[in-house]
Amino acid sequence: MSSVKGIRPTLRSEELLKKGAYIAGKWITESKEYFEVTDPATNAVITKLPDQPVQAVDEAIDAAFESYKEFKNTTPRQRAGWLRNMYNLMIENTNDLAKILTWENGKALTEAIGEIKYAASYFEWYAEEACRAYGVTIQPANPSNRAFTLRQPVGVCGLICPWNFPSAMITRKAAAALAAGCTVIVKPDSQTPLSALALAHLIEKAGFPKGSFNVVLSHTRTPEFGLRLCESPKVKKISFTGSTNVGKILMKQSASTMKKLSFELGGNAPFIIFEDADLELAVDQAVASKFRGLGQTCVCANRLYVHASIIDKFSDLLAAKVRKFVMGHGLDEKTTHGCLINQNAIKKVEDHVQDAVKKGAKVVLEGGPLSNLGPSFYSPYILSHVPENAKVSHEETFGPLCPIFSFKNMEEVVGYANDTEVGLAAYVFSKDVNTLYTVSEALETGMVSCNTGLFTDCSIPFGGIGESGFGREGSLYGIEDYTVVKTVTMGNLPKRL
pTM of the model: 0.96
Q: Which CATH class is domain 269-457?
A: alpha beta
Could you state, in order of their start, the residue ranges of all structural domains in the chain? 14-265+469-484, 269-457
pLDDT in tens, 238-265: 999 999 999 999 999 999 999 999 999 9
pLDDT in tens, 110-128: 999 999 999 999 999 999 9
> Is residue 4 pLDDT above 50, yes or no?
no
pLDDT of residue 497: 85
pLDDT in tens, 352-401: 999 999 999 999 999 999 999 999 999 999 999 999 999 999 999 999 99
pLDDT mean across residues, the chain: 97
CATH architecture of 14-265+469-484: 3-Layer(aba) Sandwich (3.40)
Q: Which of 6-15, 208-217, 311-320, 354-363 has the lowest mean pLDDT?
A: 6-15
Residue 45 burial by CB count (10 A; 0-12/13-18/19+): exposed, middle or buried? exposed
> Is residue 5 pLDDT above 70, yes or no?
no
> Is residue 224 pLDDT above 70, yes or no?
yes
pLDDT of residue 483: 98
What number of residues does the chain have?
A: 497
Q: Which of 2-16, 52-66, 449-463 has the lowest mean pLDDT?
A: 2-16
- Give the list of residues 6+ apart from residue 176 with CB closer than 8 angstroms, or none: 122, 126, 129, 473, 474, 478, 479, 481, 482
Assign 1 a pLDDT band (cuts: 50, 70, 90).
Answer: very low
Assign 6 a pLDDT band (cuts: 50, 70, 90).
Answer: low
> Is residue 3 pLDDT above 70, yes or no?
no
What is the dihedral sign for C-alpha 217, 220, 221, 226? positive
**Distance in angstroms (rounded) separating the CA atoms of residues 165 and 262:** 17
Could you give the residue numbers annotated as active site? 264
